[in-house]
A = this chain, B = another copy of it.
Amino acid sequence: MYIPTYEDMLAAHERIQPHIRRTPVRTSAFLNELTGAELFFKCENFQEPGAFKVRGATNAVFGLDEEQAKKGVATHSSGNHASCLSYAAMLRGIPCNVVMPRTAPQAKKDTVRRYGGRITECEPSTSSREETFAKVQAETGGDFVHPYNDHRVIAGQGTCAKEFVEQTDGLDMVVAPIGGGGMISGTCLTLSNLAPETQVIAAEPEQADDAYRSFKAGYIIADDAPTTVADGLLVPLKDLTWHFVSNHVSEIYTASDAEIIDAMKLIWKHLRIVMEPSSAVPLATILKNKDAFAAKRVGLIVTGGNVDLDKLPWMNS
């Protein structure tokens, strides 16, 4: 297992800068008053394909040598990683093969195809996915870019925290959502070197709190099939992300689905940005643990902005 270094992150930033956006940091006097903290929101939802995952994907794609690049990349994902990897591959003009369950939302498939990704459908089970992916990879020779347990991906995600430090005047804490742990790992990688006084805090849905339980237990606990409105955060930690979580994360807080939806509406209303339920978990946990954040300068990473506008979570009831 190769652990990416601070230098890998710096090299990643140099490599991807021409292809990604230096996303803005937004603030809201209203939300500061409501929380009693000074909040800074890093808007990764403003990346062209709508998620921070374009950083890691672009680092992997543009780091390939010419020979491998011809064969392209491959992954299995039904979320933002699939569209971001397709987008990065499109920018370099190389093939991208994605294995997706046939039950994935049509909108997600459309986005991957819009960016030139080739989808091979599998059944919605781990065995079908692995079998199908092995076949696709054998046929295409595409380089496997895992959604988070990949040192190139983590180094890429770490570039977000680098910009965040540059854009703010020092932060006491950075809070990011945790699913598989790619963004949190990149954030740990960068901040432990660049701003070791800044705490890294992970925010997780109660209904998929495997990272929280892993953190408390001291070893990886993986759930079978959690369900939460924060559908970008369902996957478990893996060895590489566990390394960063277990060594550098100060705390993991959780929030219920109802709290996540409330926080999401607050951000839509007061920051006036469109973002995913997963990206609202940090604010939900801050509102729930106000004492821990009182009077602190707190950075929140708004990880993604791809939602189905016809099926907003507060419309379900």
Contacts of A309 in B (CB 8 A): 265, 268-269, 312, 314
Selected from B26, B272, B310, the residue in CB contact (under 8 A) with A275 is B272
Contacts of A273 in B (CB 8 A): 272-274
Copies in the complex: 2
Closest to A308 in B: B269
Within 8 A of B (CB), among A113-157: none
Within 8 A of B (CB), among A233-272: 265, 268-269, 271-272
Closest to A50 in B: B272
* A28–B50 CB distance below 8 A: no
Interface string of A298-317 (1 = CB under 8 A from B): 00000001000110101100
Contacts of A48 in B (CB 8 A): 28-30
Contacts of A274 in B (CB 8 A): 268-269, 272-274
* A46–B29 CB distance below 8 A: no
Closest to A274 in B: B272
Contacts of A28 in B (CB 8 A): 48
- Report the Cα distance A26→B24, complex, angstroms: 10
Q: Chain B nearest CB: distance from A86 CB in Å?
A: 14
Q: Is A45 an interface residue (CB 8 A)?
A: yes
- Report the Cα distance A45→B271, complex, angstroms: 9
- Report the Cα distance A24→B22, complex, angstroms: 12
Contacts of A312 in B (CB 8 A): 309, 312
- Report the Cα distance A29→B271, complex, angstroms: 23
- Report the Cα distance A18→B29, complex, angstroms: 15
Q: Chain B nearest CB: distance from A80 CB in Å?
A: 13
- Report the Cα distance A45→B28, complex, angstroms: 12
* B272–A45 CB distance below 8 A: yes
A–B Cβ pairs within 8 angstroms, 23 of them: A24-B24, A26-B46, A28-B48, A30-B48, A45-B272, A46-B271, A46-B272, A265-B309, A268-B274, A269-B274, A269-B309, A272-B273, A272-B274, A272-B275, A272-B305, A273-B273, A273-B274, A274-B274, A309-B312, A309-B314, A310-B314, A312-B312, A315-B315
